[in-house]
A and B are shown apart, each in its own frame.
Chain A
Amino acid sequence: MSDILRFREDETVDHASVTVDAFLEQTNSNAVRIEPGDDARALLQHLDQIKLVEVNFPVFGDGRGYSAARVLREAGYDGEIRAVGDVLVDQIGFMRRCGFDSFEPEKAFDEADAKAAFERWPEVYQPTTDGRTPIWAKRHG
């Protein structure tokens, strides 16, 4: 677990996650893994019981996971959302904005590069559930 970059204080779920289908059939698990083709909205009725959602990125170019994370956050989910798989350091800034709060990349990040990626952007144009104030809100007080 040492390769997980995490932005949460609570305890990590320490068992394996199940697929969305398996979760919906036997809803006693608290960790689910979303594949790119899965509909994150299928989980919305069960958010109370979920502590960890892993969103898999088999290839970095498949951006469905960004929407999945936002859909969950917009529905009020406040458990962990972890990006796993082909997660590159140049994407984690965007992922963070979409609601990911932990990262388990196939290839570990260079620590300095990861730090730079999170700290780089002083401003943002769009509001998301990450709470950052968009530029237009600053302009209009």
Chain B
Amino acid sequence: MYKYDQYDQAMVDTRVEEFRDQVKRRLEGKISEDQFKPLRLMNGLYLQLHAYMLRVAIPYGTLNSAQMHALADIADKYDRGYGHFTTRQNIQYNWIKLEEAPDLLADLAKVEMHAIQTSGNCIRNISSDQYAGATADEIIDPRPYAELLRQWSSFHPEFSFLPRKFKICVIASDTDRAAMKLHDIGIQIVKNDAGEIGARFYVGGGMGRTPMIAPMIRDFVPLDQLVTYSEACLRVYNRYGRRDNKYKARIKILVHELGAEEYTRQVEEEFAHLLDQGVEPPLAELERIKTFFPNPPYDKDASDEIDRSDPDFAVWVDRNTAPHKQAGYAIANISLKPIGGIPGDASTAQMHLMAELAKDYSFDECRVTHAQNIVLPDVKKSDLYTLWQKLDEAGLGTPNLDQIDDIIACPGLDYCSLANARSIPLAQRISERYANNGKSDVLGELKLKISGCINACGHHHAGHIGILGVDRKGVENYQLLLGGSEGADTSLGKITGRGFDEDGVIDAIEKVTDLYLDQKEDGERFLDTYRRIGMEPFKEAIYE
């Protein structure tokens, strides 16, 4: 994976010192909270309901074991012994003291990590496919391109006060595991007919209160123009994105209001101008970055056989592993969704263990997924059984990837100052309900996502089943959505009808899944059945 050179390290170290100075000026009363707010936000520090929350960037979700160990140490030293992995492939700590934040950032910098641009109206941490580099279905590893864009977007002098936050995702496979089209810019690395690699740009997707699927605005940007084209997309947005209304300020609204065609025309015009401005790094820089992402030294003779004699292990293999490009290897998913647990939470001990396992079994690398799980990308099949035993012992072996209890949930009213309703306890109760009724396994793939308010951090629009917390006359209320999806067949969920209280929404979900089990035809997933029979029968089942 990418390693900092003296330049990258200097940038991160400088940021730590700058922030230390800003905190000092704040504590001395030289700057007001209003003035301090955008500064701390650019360092990922939010003031939440009970304390400061710090969000640490995990670029394109990739970590080595030293970094995972450091994240665990930070949880111990500055928080209450756990961290929370987020839908943006980052980690958050919920109990941070302002005075200690600069030291925490200094600890991060020691392992080439930071919290730069993890919040604020700037270009955020770039996300990618959690199976990058390991999966058989990609044309190339997308992470070097993400790293190129990480450096371009870090401390960008023109784009640090955008109308709103800005999220970029880079993938390189037709199977979209990263909800690419629901980003402000989604980039798919593709190969054209001449066999050249380039970038396909989708601009103006997003969730929030006005969810939109990004339209494609350019099907092929040559690799030596990738930064320039991104710069053009951003400049048009910075100049013309709405600033009169926070809820209309994302680029999706600009693209929607102008129309994709007119937005594209403006981008192309800006792009033509910028091509002469020399903003593009030479291809040699991309080549340099690529050298940090070689194939690990796979054992070419590794056996493709898996001993499935332990039935519990066999279930885990079926559910939580994915095919690898290298014979004899598999991609292993560690579920952070134990029955009744808090989605995405990991304790200090669990983080240390995952770090060790990454080192021992996956060439020192692990990944964070937008579904709030962890991936070990390169595990020898013959090691899977030992790996699973160690995971299971630590409560990390739950075999429920992409099942109804593999819930995505935002922090909700337990932590978040914007929340209308709690997400975490609801997720815990749904997980318990399906553990007790035993239906999780028969339901198969069913993605359930919960957001505590319209901001949609829990991606409820993209859930096969989505839940949205709303405030009804001061009482927590939940709306139910069906039919969302985030993959190549991205679709947005539709609201079933009037909302429910907590018990009510859990009962409604069970009615929905019962109807599916009753109606499903051969091999249909929940989503397929829903698309075939439509909303009506589900409505009847819920509200009859």
Please give the residue numbers on chain A whose beta carbons come within 8 Å of chain B beta carbons, in ascending order.
Answer: 36, 39, 60-64, 66-68, 70, 74, 88, 90-91, 93-95, 97-98, 110, 113, 116, 120-128, 134-140
Contact = CB atoms under 8 A, between A and B. Distances in A.
B279 A127 contact: yes
Chain B interface size, as a band, is 35 or more
A94 B160 contact: yes
Contacts of B159: 63, 66
Interface string B279-314: 101101100100000000000000000000000000
B285 A140 contact: yes
A121 B155 contact: yes
A88 B38 CA distance: 11
Given A62-B243, A113-B25, A139 B161 contact: no
Given A61-B121, A66-B238, A74-B273, A98 B157 contact: yes
Given A120-B17, A124-B157, A126-B156, 20 more contacts: A39-B239, A62-B243, A63-B121, A63-B238, A64-B243, A66-B157, A74-B273, A91-B160, A94-B160, A95-B157, A110-B30, A121-B14, A122-B14, A123-B7, A123-B10, A125-B152, A127-B279, A136-B282, A139-B285, A140-B288
B288 A139 contact: yes
Contacts of B281: 134, 136-137
Contacts, number: 101
B285 A128 contact: no
Contacts of A110: 30
B158 interface: yes
User: Which of B25, B38, B152, B157 is packed against the most chain A CB atoms within 10 Å?
Assistant: B157
A61 B282 contact: no
B11 interface: yes
Contacts of B35: 60, 88
B235 interface: yes
B383 interface: no
Interface in B462-491: none
A126 B279 contact: yes
A69 to B, nearest CB: 8
Interface in B150-177: 151-152, 154-163
Shortest 8 CB-CB distances between A and B: which pairs? A63-B161, A97-B157, A136-B281, A94-B157, A135-B7, A136-B285, A66-B158, A125-B151
Contacts of B10: 122-123
Interface string B1-43: 0000101101100100110011001000010000100110000
Contacts of A63: 121, 158-163, 238
User: Which of A60, A74, A116, A123 is packed against the most chain B CB atoms within 10 Å?
Assistant: A123
Contacts of B158: 63, 66-67, 70, 94, 98, 128
Given A66-B161, A123-B11, A116 B155 contact: no
B229 to A, nearest CB: 15
B438 interface: no
Interface in B255-286: 273, 277-279, 281-282, 284-285
A78 to B, nearest CB: 16
Interface string B444-468: 0000000000000000000000000
Interface in B406-460: none
Nearest to B274: A74
Contacts of A62: 161, 243
A127 B163 CA distance: 23
Given A63-B162, A97-B157, A136-B281, A126 B152 contact: yes
Contacts of B21: 116
Nearest to A59: B243
A139 B282 CA distance: 10
Nearest to B273: A74
Nearest to A95: B157
Contact of B22 (A74, A90, A125): A90
Interface string B389-417: 00000000000000000000000000000
A126 B157 contact: yes
A117 to B, nearest CB: 9
Contact of B238 (A60, A67, A95): A67
Interface in B113-165: 121, 151-152, 154-163
Contact of B235 (A36, A67, A90, A138): A67
Contacts of A68: 239
25 contacts: A61-B121, A61-B161, A63-B121, A63-B160, A63-B162, A67-B158, A67-B238, A68-B239, A74-B273, A90-B22, A94-B157, A94-B160, A110-B30, A116-B21, A120-B14, A121-B14, A123-B7, A123-B10, A123-B11, A125-B11, A125-B151, A134-B281, A136-B281, A136-B282, A137-B281
